[in-house]
């Protein structure tokens, strides 16, 4: 995945100028927050798009553009990367959007929206995916998708962090 993102970068080993649109449940997502921080640190331009009910208070602190309409955001941002987020229904105690069909129609990466992206636009999703809700099969299974790489790399990274944390604890560093 890094190699594929690197190909988008305008120079060196940074991500200067790469436009990333993060779509979905920003409110409940640790992925959105950590990726916004990391991507901006590496020079990317980051924007969020979600229903107003799924945008956290204080979003201005993230230093990202915020959109509430996916079609308008796609036209305005012209993203190099579209990162879809899972709707985390297990964390929702209230109705954050009318229903799944309405969410998919307004904020999901449908086959039609996917076909409107550039041929080199990467499609990301940290998984697990709710196919048909936040992402279509066509987008998830396309050659432009990095979903399987993300999931594979995510497991390896978490294993490395746990190993290093436990090793430091065993040496009394924590």
Give the C-alpha separation, 110 to 71, whole Å.
11
Give the C-alpha separation, 59 to 4, whole Å.
29
Beta pairing, strands 81-84 & 65-67: unpaired
- Is the pTM above the cut of 0.85? no
160 domain residue, yes or no? no
* b/e per residue 66-77 (b: at least 16 CB within 10 A): ebbebeebbeeb
Mean pLDDT of 86-98: 62
- Check pLDDT > 80 for residue 16: yes
Domain count for the chain, please give it. 1
What CATH code is carried by the domain that includes residue 69? Answer: 3.40.50.1370
What domain range is 7 assigned to? 2-147
Q: Decide: 77 and 22 in contact? Cβ < 8 Å.
A: no
- Check pLDDT > 90 for residue 75: yes
53 domain residue, yes or no? yes
Q: Decide: 123 and 164 in contact? Cβ < 8 Å.
A: no
E strands, the chain, in order: 19-23, 45-49, 65-67, 81-84, 122-124
pLDDT band of residue 93 (cuts 50, 70, 90) is low
165 domain residue, yes or no? no
At 96 the pLDDT is 61
30 domain residue, yes or no? yes
Instruction: Name the token pair of 128.
Output: 């697990």
Mean pLDDT of 70-92: 87
């Amino acid at each position: 995945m890094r190699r594929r993102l690197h190909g988008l970068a305008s120079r060196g080993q940074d991500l200067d100028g790469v436009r990333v649109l993060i779509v979905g449940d920003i409110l409940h997502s640790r992925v959105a927050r950590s990726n916004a921080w990391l991507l901006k640190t590496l020079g990317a331009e980051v924007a969020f798009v979600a229903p107003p009910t799924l945008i956290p208070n204080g979003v201005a602190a993230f230093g990202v553009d915020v959109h509430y309409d996916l079609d308008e955001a796609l036209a305005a941002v012209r993203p190099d990367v579209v990162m879809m987020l899972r709707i985390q229904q297990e964390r929702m105690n209230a109705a954050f959007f009318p229903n799944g069909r309405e969410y998919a129609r307004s904020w999901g990466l449908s086959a039609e929206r996917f076909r409107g992206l550039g041929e080199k636009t990467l499609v990301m999703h940290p998984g697990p995916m709710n196919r048909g809700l936040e992402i279509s099969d066509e987008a998830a299974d396309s050659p432009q998708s990095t979903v399987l790489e993300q999931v594979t790399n995510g497991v390896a990274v978490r294993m490395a962090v746990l190993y290093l944390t436990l090793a430091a604890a065993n040496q009394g560093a924590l």
